[in-house]
Every structure is written in structure tokens, then in C-alpha cells.
Structure 1
């Protein structure tokens, strides 16, 4: 099938590919983080690996890495955000251009073991002496063959046979140093960058010019990787014949120092190529979901208004709207009613708004936010920490983030659930009051009715609810409502899943005794 037809056919398809996030995030991990980077806990809290998988339509390792880096670094500058959005709009509008670009990314493909980044990430072996040694040894087979022809002596061929055996042994030993696969993908990256730089488009001109400048600085590496690529073609068939001449080894040690010197240039080229792949990917995702997408509006006042927002991972999402001005929100409700999903829905849309200038909502109007969450802090007992201590450190991240200039959006689920009720409610109330005084919007989900009572006047109140009965079982509407939840369902859920009636009846009686005592 013609490649362009294949690319066009796949435009509306979800990318069914197993992703190795350890490799995908390496480019992000290599670079210095800014003060508004999404930290690891927030990323995990918001299940952003799954969100990444949902929006990812990239065709290359560079594209995956660039897309991941973008999502980890939401923008705080509307002008820069609009520039990125202009590229996305261009790719949505100009289908022929998008297909041309994606053909290049398709041919670039994936460096499945991430050898290129691994190779230049401080693992290069620089040894000029080896370059000279292997260059000289590479001449030995030629000398032996010439001697065998000139002197008609068979022992020259015997020496050659022994020599070839030794070269195979040395080649296998050097394979850990000579990252041929990494050099091969670098060759593919350079070829892809060259193809991109030839595309004529006024709106892409500045981007392509930057790629050309980087290619000019990589000319020496360009020539060397061409040799490596040729040897690894046809399933490595030519490599077998090249082993006695140490071509891979001498080429590698010739340019290894240059690779280290130009590491930053290579990484920048990797990102610039990947950036276009990532943005065409987002353009396709947004076009496929255009009935649910809208353009966000940014305001200076610390506020958040969202109409009919949905989460990108839900196949049958329930739309929810919220308006937050000046105060945070206390979110109450029974188990499984949708509180955590709502926290993630709002947070994810903030990240999408500030990364790609679209949201999954009918309307979105908000200030720029630094998103720091505490939704599902992990039990860190293996590191000698209690659940409570891990959560205390998690909340402290939020408090420290308030020192920045940008407003903080902080979703918190069940604050201090790992300690006793009296201290939990007391410390939680003071922390939430403190956060609310700063430049922030906090949404805290809780089961503590006492906490809701203490925070009246400081926070607004919303809730989720459900019904549980013997006939229909669990029934949730997943709609946010104004006010404080007055219902509980923990014991009902135990009854619903089949706990013995004795436990259920005695649990209800114990509630009556406790409430009567209080």
C-alpha cells in the first residue's frame, strides 16, 4: 500500500502500541526542570501515563519523548501557548502537509531500546588510541590477502583465518561500547531532519531554519553515521563482512568525542523533530474529538470556570460544570460517587489548556495555574515512612508551591486519612485555611462532616451522591451538586457485595450508639 494512503487511513485510529515510559521520559529526565514542571506525584495522581497514551498518535521515539516533555511542562505564557496552538491549527487545517510530515515520522520510526539517548547520556566511551589501533588493524586483512597473492604462500590465508576469528571476538567484546543501534537511529534522525527541512511552508519556516542550523553543526557526525547505517542495512549482512576491517569500531571511536561535544545539539535536534511529530499527533487527537473540545480563555484573576467538562479517559463521560472565585471547594460525597474522577477531570483539563490550548469542555475560563496534587499518596513503608508521614510530605509540597508567582491549583483527596480523627480534622482545617489565604484554588474531597462545618465561610461546598437498593443495586449519576452530602453508603456497599447480615445489622446499631453518645 502507498505510504500516504496508509497514513491517511490511520489518521482517525487510536495508536495501539505498548509504551515503555521509562524510555519515553528519558529526554524529560535529562533536562533541567523549571519551577512549574508537573512533579512525579502529581503526574501519577492524575494517571497522566494513561492520558498520554490516549492522546498519543506519534510515529517516532522523538515524537513520544517530545509529547511527554510538553505534558510535563505546562506553559504559563499565553503568547508562547498561542504559537504552539498555531502549529496545531495549521496541521488540522492542512491535511496534505500533515500527511507529508507523518510520512517522515513513520520512516523515522522507533528506537525501541532507546539506544540513541542512552548512547549520548554519559555512556560514551572516548578513546582516541583505540581509533588509531582499529584503523591500523583494519588494514591487516588487506595486507594478508595481498601477501598471499604475491608470495603464493598458503600460510598467509591461515593467518587471515585466525585473524578473522580474533576480530569477531574483539567485535563482540566492543559491542557494549560501540552503540551501533544508537548511531543507526541518529542516522535516521538526521535523515528525517533533512527531509523536514526541505518542506516549504511559511508558517513552519522559522522551525525548519532552526533544524537546518543544527544539521550544519552536525556535518562530521552526519558522514560517520552514514557508514554505520550502511553496515547495519539488510539485517546487518554487510556488518559481517566489515568485522575484520573494524569499520564500526574505528568509526565509533573517531566520532565518540564529537558526540559528547555536541550532545546538546543532538538532543535539541531530537526535540525539534519530535515536537512536530507530537503537534501533528495532538492536531489529530483534537480533530477526532472536536465535538468535545473548545479553546480556553485565560484571565488574570485567580479563578476557574468550566462548563460541561469531561475526562479524556472516560468512554461514556458525564459532563460537569464548576465556577470557582476567591474561595476553594470542599467536595463531599459517598464512596465511588465520582469525587476523585472530578478532581482528575479538572486537573487534566488545566494541563491540556496550558499545554496545547484546548480543553475537553464546552467552555473554559481560568487563570494560569501550577498544578500540585495530593490525591493518592503512596504508602512508603518500604522506605521507613508511615502512610501519614508520606501524606504529610505530600501536602507540604503544596504549601511550598504557594511561594511561586503563579496561582496554584491543588486537588486533595481525603486529607490526612492516615491518622486519628481529632488531629486529622484539626490540622486539615488549619492547612486548608492557610492554602485558601494564598494565591490558589484548592478542591479537597473529604468524608469528614466536621471539617465541612469548620470551613464554612472559607470554602464553598459541593457533593456527589448515589442510591443503593436491593432491586437496582448501585446507581450513580456522577453529577456535582451544590451543598454538603448528608448521606453515607459504606455499610450499604458491604451489604450490596454480600457481607453477612449479622455484620450489617450490628454495624447500623453501632452507628446509632456512637451518634447517640456524641
Structure 2
């Protein structure tokens, strides 16, 4: 007998020791993965943008239009790709918060300084950052959470006619008591009928709330993460920022109720053994409906507290992701905002999506006409300035050695396309894009506008005339603009109104090369026909094109 207990004790000790060793190596592996991924370029993956954008879609109506990055500008600048380049968030909440942050131009010093304070905090505390990332990874990513829409529209997700379910419960327990007291066939039959009705009602209605239980379960994980941060002895975050203690304390009983509902749902889905019997009992008693109703009512009353927790956890994850983005970039700076200036100064600026990018330096006010050959770098440069102006006002980070600007609205007109569905031609859509820029101009605030190939959808004479009129109008307003064009006529007509800069090509052994460097003054070269030649077009086309150009210029 004694030997049996000794063997059993050794076995149990071995199991416990194996579990501790497994947990140790799992924790070590997680830490190594965290350290490996931090400060690197995120790997490519598929993004569920409908879910990620849900937070932004809920809050954007509360943000002034002039402080938003509108959809056209977002698409012109390929901001989804920029988001993917920055995103190293560990949780769904962080991803949603970062996406919404990149859509907003923060003009308040307090907003950006609060974010920067957290970035600097984790930058100076490597061990605490790793621990925080462990918490956030445990929270994890749950696609299509729709947390904020769920919370803002709880009425939609509540169980209707809860009073009827209460009556059915009352009838069930009444008939049960009657059957126990009377012990006759009539009352037993009544009990069976009511139980059957309740089970049918449950089977027909439970799917409506089980989908919500998935969202509620992620809410409890978020609350649990907040609780861990508050009580953590390995981090001093809450002691420094005091953001989570008060709101998380109001959810103590809420989490237990949701965990009970989640357990019931998982048991039901497993559909095995005694567990399934207990689930039928829950179905007959409709207890999950009443419990779900209480949970939804409790959540509705704690909406403000939950928003505080969501915002705080989202900003933590976002701040660490931005810090990682900074470390993964060749170099960066924080922007300088000058309220009394109407110019931009950018030193060694580059585009975040281009590896080994060529940097450029520029300082300008009012308007720039940017000319140059095809594929010489005009569009990339414009996008680099526009993107950095957005990143400056959204995540307080610029890819440059210095970036100085006034707080401004930002709007673009670049990637214009025909719209087959609406029937709008290229030119009509371009006019709409430009008109939206004109409508956002305001003398009380700065606007930065970026136009690539202005009015290229119409004939040369009218294009030049209309372009001159539009650019002169922009110059008269509180607007800083960069306009790219192939029309050298614009550089001459507007030389007294706008600064001229250009990109150029270099002929090297008969081939066209680009240095992607910005030069002062208008372009003096053309390369379209030369590119046709280098791409192997028939000689007859090349001769005809050159002959036509010579007849015009001579």
C-alpha cells in the first residue's frame, strides 16, 4: 500500500514538473517571438478590413470633416498599405484603434503628447514593454469583433419580448410544483407540454444571442487584460497613467456572468454526454435567456467605463506598434508644429513603403509646380510629403530628419479613375475630386492639397487654361499645394506665382536612368519617346513621333 502511494506521488510530481517545464518553455518561446518581431517590418497577411474599420466607422461622425483623412485621400495614398507597414499590434483592439488613429488629424497638442508619452514610456522600459505585449497577445485577435458597434447598438442585440420568456419560466415551475403536489397524469402532461414549448422556443431563438456571446467573451478578455495590467507587479503602467483602475473595478460581477454564458454555449456546441443533458435542462428553463438579458442590461449601463478601457488598451497596443515602426525605419523624427507659419520644411524625407528610398529635402510655402519626366519620381515625392503630413498629425512620427508644418487639413487628387457603375468619365471624376478640394478651403485654418497630373482628362488648351485658374485660386486661399504636371507651359505661366521644382532623367550609354533627386526650377527634358524606343516599339513609330515633336518645337 505504501509503495502504491509512493509511485502515485512520484507520478503526480512528474506530471506537475512536466507542466511547469512546458509552461516555462512556452513563456520563453513567447518572449523570444515578441523580441524577434519588435522593430521589424510586419509580414504580409490577409486583413479583415470590415472588422478593423468598425471602430472608425462608429466614431468618424464625431470627428470634424476637416480633421479626417477622407476616403479619396486614403486611397490615393494607399493608406491600407501604410497601415499594414506600421501595424505590429498584438490585439484586435489595438488594430482597430491604430486604423482609426491614422484616419484622424490631431490638432490638439494634448492628444499627440499623450500618445507620445506612452511611446517614450515603452521605449525606455524594454522589459515592461515585453510584459505588456504578453498581456496583449493573451488578449489576442478575434476577427470581426465589432465591439464598439455592438456596444453602441445594444438594443439591436437584446432579446426581445423577455417578459414572454419570464411567463414561460413561471408556467414551467408552476406546472412542476403542480405535478409534484398532485402527482397525476394531467399535471405531468401539462409539465411535459410546457417543457416542450420552452425547448422549441429555445431552439428557435438561441442562435440570435449565441453570436453575441462571442463578442461578449472578447469583452471579458479585454476586461481581464485591464485587470492584469492594474494588478501587475512587473509593470508600473497603471501607477504612471492611472487609466484602468477605476473603469475596470465596475465590471467585477459582469465578467463571471459572461463566462457562464460562454461556457454554456461551448458545452452546447460540443454536444456530448451529460453536458448535453444539462444544456437541454437550460433550454427548457430558458435560464440562459434571462441571464443574457441581465448581462446586456449591465453592459449598457457601463458603456462609458468600457469605452475608457477600450481606449486605454487600444492606445497601449498602438503606442507599442508605433514604437516598433520607428525602430524598423532607417530613421525618423517627431514633427514640429508652427501655428504662425504657412510653409513646410522637410529634410531628408522619404516614403515609408519604399525600401532603400532616396531622400529629398525641400522648404516651401504657398505653391509648388512639380514637373519632370515619366517615372522620374514626381508622384512618389508628392505622396511622401502628403503621407508624412498625415503621420505627423496622427501618430506623431515622420520619416525624415526634420519635418516642420502648420496643423492642417490634408486632401489629395491623384488616383482618378473612370467609374463604370455611375457612368462618370475620368474627367468628370477628376472635376469632382478637385471641387472637393476647393470646398474644404477655409481662411481660418491651413489646408495642404496635393494634385498629381492636374486636369489631364481634357484637351491641352483647356487643360492649361483651367489648371492656371485653379492653381491661382489655391494660391489666394489659406492653402499650401503641390501640383505635379507634364505641361511645361504651366511652369512658365506660373513662374511668378509658384516655385518650380523638377525630377530629371540621366542618359547613360543610351539608356534612361533616374536619380530620383529633387532639383530647383522647371524641367527641361522629355523622355516619353525615348522610353518607347527602349521598350522596343517599332522604329516607324519612333521616327513619326520625333518628326511630329520637331515640327511643333521648331
TM-score in terms of structure 1 length: 0.88
SS of equivalent residue, structure 2 residue 375: coil
Q: Which residue of 1 aligns with 2:104?
A: 73
Q: Determine if the alignment matches structure 1 residue 284 to structure 2 residue 317.
A: no
1:355 and 1:263 map into 2 onto residues whose CA distance is 26
**CA-to-partner distance for each residue in 1:409-462, whole Å, 9 max, x for gaps?**
111101111112222111111111111122221000000111111111111111
Change in Cα spacing, 1:172 to 1:128, as seen in structure 2 (3 Å) is: closer
Tell me if the contact between 1:231 and 1:237 (Cα under 8 Å) persists in the aligned partners: no
**What's the CA shift for 1:116?**
3.2
Q: Which residue of 2 aligns with 1:307?
A: 347
**CA-to-partner distance for each residue in 1:381-429, whole Å, 9 max, x for gaps?**
4213222221112112222222163311111101111112222111111
1:313 and 1:392 map into 2 onto residues whose CA distance is 29
Change in Cα spacing, 1:21 to 1:349, as seen in structure 2 (3 Å) is: same
SS of equivalent residue, structure 1 residue 417: coil
Tell me if the contact between 2:129 and 2:320 (Cα under 8 Å) persists in the aligned partners: yes
**What's the CA shift for 1:468?**
5.5
Change in Cα spacing, 1:80 to 1:120, as seen in structure 2 (3 Å) is: closer
SS of equivalent residue, structure 2 residue 208: coil
What does 1:351-362 align with in structure 2 at a 5 Å threshold? 351-362=390-401
What does 1:444-455 align with in structure 2 at a 5 Å threshold? 444-455=483-494
Q: Which has the larger radius of gyration?
A: 2
Q: Structure 2 regions of 5+ residues with no counterpart?
A: 1-25
Q: Which residue of 1 aligns with 2:10?
A: none
What does 1:105-504 align with in structure 2 at a 5 Å threshold? 105-122=136-153, 124-127=156-159, 129-130=161-162, 133=165, 136-137=168-169, 167=199, 170-171=202-203, 173-178=205-210, 179-199=212-232, 204-205=238-239, 207-209=241-243, 211-218=244-251, 221-232=254-265, 236-237=269-270, 240=276, 241-242=278-279, 244-246=281-283, 247-260=287-300, 262-263=302-303, 265-289=305-329, 291-299=330-338, 300-325=340-365, 327-403=366-442, 405-467=444-506, 473-504=511-542
**What's the CA shift for 1:372?**
0.9
Change in Cα spacing, 1:233 to 1:509, as seen in structure 2 (3 Å) is: same
Tell me if the contact between 1:171 and 1:243 (Cα under 8 Å) persists in the aligned partners: no
Change in Cα spacing, 1:444 to 1:115, as seen in structure 2 (3 Å) is: closer
Number of residue pairs matched?
A: 510
Change in Cα spacing, 1:472 to 1:191, as seen in structure 2 (3 Å) is: farther
1:166 and 1:503 map into 2 onto residues whose CA distance is 82
Change in Cα spacing, 1:176 to 1:303, as seen in structure 2 (3 Å) is: same
**CA-to-partner distance for each residue in 1:87-114, whole Å, 9 max, x for gaps?**
1011111112211211111111112122
Q: Which sits farther off after the overlay, 222-231 or 485-494?
A: 222-231
Q: Which sits farther off after the overlay, 16-25 or 406-415?
A: 16-25
Tell me if the contact between 2:40 and 2:325 (Cα under 8 Å) persists in the aligned partners: no
2:109 and 2:197 map into 1 onto residues whose CA distance is 63
Q: Determine if the alignment matches structure 1 residue 44 to structure 2 residue 75.
A: yes
Tell me if the contact between 1:425 and 1:448 (Cα under 8 Å) persists in the aligned partners: yes
Q: Which residue of 2 aligns with 1:24?
A: 52
Q: Structure 1 regions of 5+ residues with no counterpart?
A: none
2:296 and 2:153 map into 1 onto residues whose CA distance is 11
2:268 and 2:348 map into 1 onto residues whose CA distance is 53
Tell me if the contact between 2:168 and 2:198 (Cα under 8 Å) persists in the aligned partners: no
Q: Which sits farther off after the overlay, 226-235 or 41-50?
A: 226-235
1:60 and 1:283 map into 2 onto residues whose CA distance is 16
Tell me if the contact between 1:463 and 1:483 (Cα under 8 Å) persists in the aligned partners: yes
Change in Cα spacing, 1:333 to 1:168, as seen in structure 2 (3 Å) is: farther
**CA-to-partner distance for each residue in 1:226-257, whole Å, 9 max, x for gaps?**
22233356895488543541454333233334
Tell me if the contact between 1:416 and 1:424 (Cα under 8 Å) persists in the aligned partners: yes
Change in Cα spacing, 1:506 to 1:160, as seen in structure 2 (3 Å) is: farther
- Give the root-mean-square deviation of aligned CA atoms: 3.4
SS of equivalent residue, structure 2 residue 486: coil
Q: Which residue of 1 aligns with 2:39?
A: 12
Q: Structure 1: which 4+ aligned runs deviate by more than 6 Å?
A: 141-148, 150-153, 159-166, 200-203
**CA-to-partner distance for each residue in 1:355-384, whole Å, 9 max, x for gaps?**
232211112222222211111123234213
1:232 and 1:208 map into 2 onto residues whose CA distance is 36
TM-score in terms of structure 2 length: 0.82
SS of equivalent residue, structure 1 residue 513: helix
